[in-house]
Every structure is written in structure tokens, then in C-alpha cells.
Amino acid sequence: MKKMLVLNFFPANHPPVTGGEIRYFNIYHKLSRYYDITLLSQAGTRRTVQFSPSFREYRVPADPRHIQIITELVQELSSGRHGYELNLIKNLKLAQHPTLYKKVLDRLYETSDIIVHESSYLVEYDQNLGSDQKLRIYNSHNHDFLLAQNIWKNKNARKYLPLVYKLEKKLTTNANLVFATSTGERDSFITMYNLNPAKVKIAPNGINPDEWLKRQDISRKRPGETVKALFIGSYYPPNIEAVDYVITYLAQKCSGVEFLIAGGCCKPFSCAARSNVTLMGPISHSQKLQLFATVDLAINPMFTGGGINLKTLEFLSAGIPLFSTEFGIRGLELNDQQHYIKAEKKDFPDKINQFIQNKKMLIEIAQNGRSYVNHNYSWSAIAKNIKHEIDQLCGG
């Protein structure tokens, strides 16, 4: 088995909860059938997790320089909200120092055949990039520069955008393979960094079709009974924007719907008052499975972001009728009122109020969406395709 070393700035918690964790764990869990895989992640404490004989994770704790750099960054980014940008810029700066993460990477590098980058923020740790013969892969979660350019709000943080561009260009130029999550991001990688299209492939987000619990039959809901709609998301600016929309606009227009909001996206709204909005905060994987089995609808009012929206895939795979903006289903070939119901910012409440009465149609749409997603976006199929592309590069 070839040895694959994967670099990331967050751990592969199991069972995974956030979108990034779900992608990070599942792709390499499936790929460990074909490669001996070591994840090198950053976490609060030192720990080695052995998921299987061919799949493990080294979690490297915070370096003493973390505190110094974060303190300096908090002062530098003092104007406005900066939590999201702070964590990313912190990694840009730490990668320039001989941290503990760098020492572990240098040791594991010697025995690894393939080096995989999950983002461009740790590029500077890989000092041999472009100068050795080891295979390099950029398995992107997003087009990092474009996403940062679109969603970073802090004006002082935006001064680092040229550096993000420079590092992602360096990574995409020197990588032997680049995986994008959608055709749109594949095209933007090729155009922005003048890449050979032959080396930029698609590795979308996916699902495990067999993990969902059996759903309750919404056709048995009595007339006038409250409809439960779910949104779930991590502490991530596009998700926070969606929650703000639900609280300040959508819930007000849909009085017959109880909106359940789960995940880190609830954090900025801990004091938000709306009688038909329940802020659940972070939930466990088992709680998530139970929610997916009992809610009547899923909503995805996304207006910004990058990559394929993982919550879209999960909602559909679980068989939940989905109301989403067109942006929320980006990168997927979904048809309105066949796989989901398209609802944009101005007409989202109208669409919900119109369709919640037609339970037969909602059930049919949910069944179509489930079949389509489970057939085309399983993590097993995605991992097989990644292996195929690596085999092609290595001559089989």
C-alpha cells in the first residue's frame, strides 16, 4: 500500500458533525481501503486516533506561538467581527515558523509517498513542494481565495487576500492533481491560476446513504398541526447569514412553521427572540440523525459560500423535502419541483406556505431527491474516482 499523508488545520472528529469534518473523515475513511493513510491535524491536545489498521490521525496540539500570534492578530483585526478570518490567518502565520506541527510533518514526510493538502493555508509547512518527486494533491474544500474574497468582511483581514491568492496559486501550480468540489470551482481554478485542465478533477461532497433513520410519515400530520423545518450549519459566515434571514424575515412570514436551527451557526443569536424559532446550538451525531428522521421540511436559504453545500446532500439523502435557494444547490444537477423546491430570498416564505399543504407532492419530491443523490454522491463512489485519477497519474 502506498502511504498517503494528509495535512489539515482541523481534526477529523468521529462521528463527524460539521461539513468540513464530514468530508475530511469520510473521503479518507473510504480511501483507506486502497492506501495507508495518516491524517496530520491540529487539535487542542496531542492524541493519536487509530480508526483502522490502514487509517489513523495524529492530532498535534497548539504550539506556544499560537497564543502570541492570536494576541497580535486580535489587535490587528480589531475593527469589526473577525473570528472566522482570525483562525485562517493564524494558520498562514504559524506556517512560517518551526512549530510542533512542522516537526511532526517533517518526520512523517520521509516515509510518505503522497502528500495531500486539504487547504492552501498550510502550504508553507510543505517546504519541499515543487522540489521533490513525491506526488502532491490539493483536495480542496473550496476555492480558498475566491471564498475569502467573497465572504471576509473585516477590512484588516482583507489585507491578507493577496497572500491567500499567492499560496493557493503556488499549491495548484505545483500539485500533480487538484480536486475541486464542483465544475464551477474547477473552471475558476483553471482560469484564475492558468492550470492545465487535465490535472483538475472533480471530487464533490457526498453522503453515506445507509446512515439515516427511518423517517416519520408526514402524510399523517393532522391539519393545523405545527410543521417543523430544520436548518443546520457550523459557525461559518454564510450559515450565520442564513440564520439571520430565518429569524428576521422567514419565521415572521411563516407563522405555522416551527424553525429548528442546529449547529455552531446559532452562536451569534443566543439572545434572538422569535416564538417559532428554536436555537438548538451544537448537536451530536445521534441527535442529528433523530432530527433528520422527525422534521417535516429542510430549509437551505444560502446566499454566499463555496463548493457543494453538504447539508443539501444530507437533507436530500435522508429523504427530507427540501426548500432551497438556487445558490444552496449549486454544483448539483437538481430540478425544481422534481428533486427540491426552489425558493429565493423574496419568495421563500410564499413557497413554504404554498407547498406545506400539498403533502403528497412533498413526499414525491423528497423520494426523487433521495434516489438521485444516493445514486450519484456516495462517499464510496467519490473515493473510487479519486483512486482512479491517482492510478492514471501513476500509470496504474
pLDDT tens per residue, range 14-68: 888 888 999 999 999 999 999 999 999 998 788 899 999 999 999 999 888 888 8
pLDDT of residue 17: 84
Q: Model confidence over 317-343: pLDDT tens digits?
A: 999 999 999 999 998 989 999 999 999
CB neighbours of 263 closer than 8 A, spacing ≥ 6?
A: 17, 18, 232, 233, 234, 235, 239, 280, 281, 282, 283
Residue 218 has pLDDT above 80, yes or no: no
> What mean pLDDT comes out for the span 67-73?
87
pTM comes to 0.88
**Whether the bond into 16 is cis, omega within 30 of 0:** no
Residue 219 has pLDDT above 70, yes or no: no
Alpha helices in 60-99 (DSSP H): 64-76, 83-94
Residue 351 has pLDDT above 90, yes or no: yes
Choosing among 3.40.470.10, 2.40.30.10, 3.40.50.2000, 3.40.605.10, the CATH entry for 209-376 is 3.40.50.2000
Q: Model confidence over 134-176: pLDDT tens digits?
A: 999 999 999 999 999 999 988 999 999 999 999 999 999 999 9
> CA–CA separation, 294 vs 303, rounded Å?
26
Q: Indicate where the chain has its CATH 3.40.50.2000 domain(s).
A: 3-206+378-393, 209-376
> What mean pLDDT comes out for the span 223-248?
92
What's the grid cell of residue 53? 489498521
Residue 396 has pLDDT above 60, yes or no: no
C-alpha atoms less than 13 angstroms from C-alpha of 49 in its C-beta half-sphere:
18
Residue of higher predicted confidence among 116 and 226: 116
Residue 271 has pLDDT above 80, yes or no: no
Choosing among 3.40.50.300, 3.40.50.2000, 3.30.750.80, 3.60.10.10, the CATH entry for 3-206+378-393 is 3.40.50.2000
pLDDT of residue 23: 96
pLDDT of residue 24: 97
